[in-house]
Structures are given as C-alpha cells and as structure tokens.
C-alpha cells in the first residue's frame, strides 16, 4: 500500500489533468479526492445459471432465487447446483442473517458452485452502521477485514482439498448516510 503522501500526490496529479467537460464517474471522483480506484467489477457469465441468495421479494433479472420462500434452507441444505456450474451469485442483505458458522459453510458452497472467473457479489450492512444494529435478526457482523481475515486464517483451510478457491476482487464501503453504511464485496472464483 502506498503511503499517504504518495497517494496525495497521485490525487493531485489526477485532479490537475481533469477535463471539466467530462462527466465524472464515481471512480473518477474517488481518484480526484483520495487517489483510490474502485476496480472494474466482474460481470456475471450468463452462459450459466446465476443465483440470487436470500432473494425475498427482490428478483434480479433472470437469476434463480434461493431462499425460504423458494424452498431452500441455507442452514440445512447445499446450494442445489453442481460443482462449477453457476455463472455468478448475488447475495444482498443475506449473509448478515446467518450465524458466522453458517456464513462460512455458505461461502464454501458458493466457492463450490461458481465457474472459475465468475463473481460472488455480496452487500451487507457494515458492523458499525445503525442499520446493522437496528435489525434483531442480524447474526453475523461484517467489516472490511472480515473476508480477507477468513481467507488468510489457516484454521479455515482444513487441508489442501478445502483451500479457498475464492479471492477478494474488491471491498469498499458505501452509504448515502451513516445509518445505511454497507460493505460492497465482490469475490472471484479463481
């Protein structure tokens, strides 16, 4: 990681070259202000089925909804797809409703079913946000270091046949106000 002075210089250089005729993207704005980039997100591979874990009433395109309403019990059942057969997974407002132990099992299931190169898109309330604390059914707390720590911890490797096939593509915080501060996480199947 670059030191804060190098990042400040990078932001100054990027800002000095800015063309006022352009409409800035969110990434441009981050570059000008903080010299940080939001990586380009990995698209779903629609040649394969895509999943929407914990869909509830929010259908996303043609993604298959998996939740209690559609007959899937995350705490008791594997994801009903073959190994390396899913082109992408949405999981918005889902993982925080799982116990930490179940969340790890479901992450392993996502790892199992994803096609290499495909994304797992997770949105969870940040553990310090009011939104996380307001919901009595939130069972696991998520911070920007939660996933990297999980993937690095040898306790969760369980031998070479169970090494994580997922890696962090990006994790960033986003919110309109502090109350709804969320973690936007994109993992990639290696």
Q: Does residue 55 sit in the same domain as residue 129?
A: yes
Q: Does residue 92 sit in the same domain as residue 154?
A: yes
Return all residues near 177 (Cβ < 8 A) that are at least 6 apart: none
Q: What's 128's domain CATH number?
A: 3.40.50.150
Closest alpha carbon to 86 in 10, 165, 141: 165
Count of domains forming the chain = 2
Q: Does residue 10 sit in the same domain as residue 71?
A: no
Question: Which of 95-99, 160-164, 182-186 comes out lowest in average pLDDT?
Answer: 160-164
Q: What is the pLDDT of residue 18?
A: 83
**Structural domain boundaries, residue 78:** 50-189
Residue 92: strand pairing partners: 123
CA 31 to CA 37: how far, in whole Å? 6
Helix axes 4-16, 26-34, angle to 10 degrees: 120
> Residue 45: inside a domain, yes or no?
no
Q: Is the model more confident about 4 or about 139?
A: 139
Q: Does residue 158 sit in the same domain as residue 92?
A: yes
User: Which pLDDT band holds residue 12 (cuts at 50, 70, 90)?
Assistant: confident
Q: What is the pLDDT of residue 5?
A: 80
Q: Does residue 55 sit in the same domain as residue 29?
A: no
> Residue 123: inside a domain, yes or no?
yes
> Residue 184: inside a domain, yes or no?
yes
Helix H or strand E segment including 31: helix 26-34
Q: Does residue 66 sit in the same domain as residue 121?
A: yes
> Residue 25: inside a domain, yes or no?
yes
Residue 62 clears pLDDT 50, i.e. is over it: yes
Q: Does residue 89 sit in the same domain as residue 164?
A: yes
Closest alpha carbon to 35 in 50, 57, 13, 20: 13
Q: Does residue 11 sit in the same domain as residue 78?
A: no
What's the burial of 113, exposed, middle or buried (CB within 10 Å: 0-12/13-18/19+)?
buried
CA 50 to CA 66: how far, in whole Å? 10
Residue 86: strand pairing partners: 114
Closest alpha carbon to 181 in 147, 134, 137, 146: 134
Buried (b) or exposed (e) across 136-156, using 16+ Cβ within 10 A? eebebebeeebbeebbeeeee
> Residue 44: inside a domain, yes or no?
no
Q: What is the pLDDT of residue 162?
A: 64
Q: Does residue 17 sit in the same domain as residue 82?
A: no
Return all residues near 24 (Cβ < 8 A) that are at least 6 apart: 18, 32
Q: Does residue 23 sit in the same domain as residue 95?
A: no
Q: Does residue 102 sit in the same domain as residue 22?
A: no
Return all residues near 152 (Cβ < 8 A) that are at least 6 apart: none
For residue 63, the 8-state DSSP code is P
Q: Does residue 24 sit in the same domain as residue 109?
A: no
Q: Dump pLDDT digits (tens) for 80-127.
A: 999 999 999 999 999 999 999 999 999 999 999 999 999 999 999 999
In angstroms, how far is the first alpha carbon of the chain from the final one? Answer: 23
* Percentage, residues of the chain above pLDDT 90: 63
């Amino acid at each position: 990681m670059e030191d804060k002075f190098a990042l400040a210089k990078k932001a100054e250089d990027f800002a000095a070259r800015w063309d006022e005729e352009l409409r800035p993207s969110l990434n441009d704005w981050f570059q000008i202000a903080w010299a940080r980039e939001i990586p380009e997100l990995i698209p779903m591979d629609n040649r394969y089925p895509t999943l929407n874990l914990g869909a509830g009433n929010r259908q996303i395109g043609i993604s298959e909804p998996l939740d209690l309403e559609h007959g899937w019990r995350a705490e008791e059942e594997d994801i009903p797809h073959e190994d390396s057969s899913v082109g992408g997974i949405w999981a918005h407002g889902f993982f925080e409703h799982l116990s930490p132990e179940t969340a790890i099992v479901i992450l392993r299931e996502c790892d199992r079913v994803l096609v290499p190169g495909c994304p797992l898109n997770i949105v969870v309330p940040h553990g310090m946000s009011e939104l996380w604390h307001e919901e009595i059914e939130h069972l696991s707390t998520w911070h920007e270091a939660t996933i990297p720590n999980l993937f690095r911890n040898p306790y969760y490797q369980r031998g070479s046949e169970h090494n994580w096939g997922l890696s962090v593509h990006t994790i960033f915080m986003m919110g309109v106000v502090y109350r709804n501060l969320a973690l936007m996480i994109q993992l990639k199947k290696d």
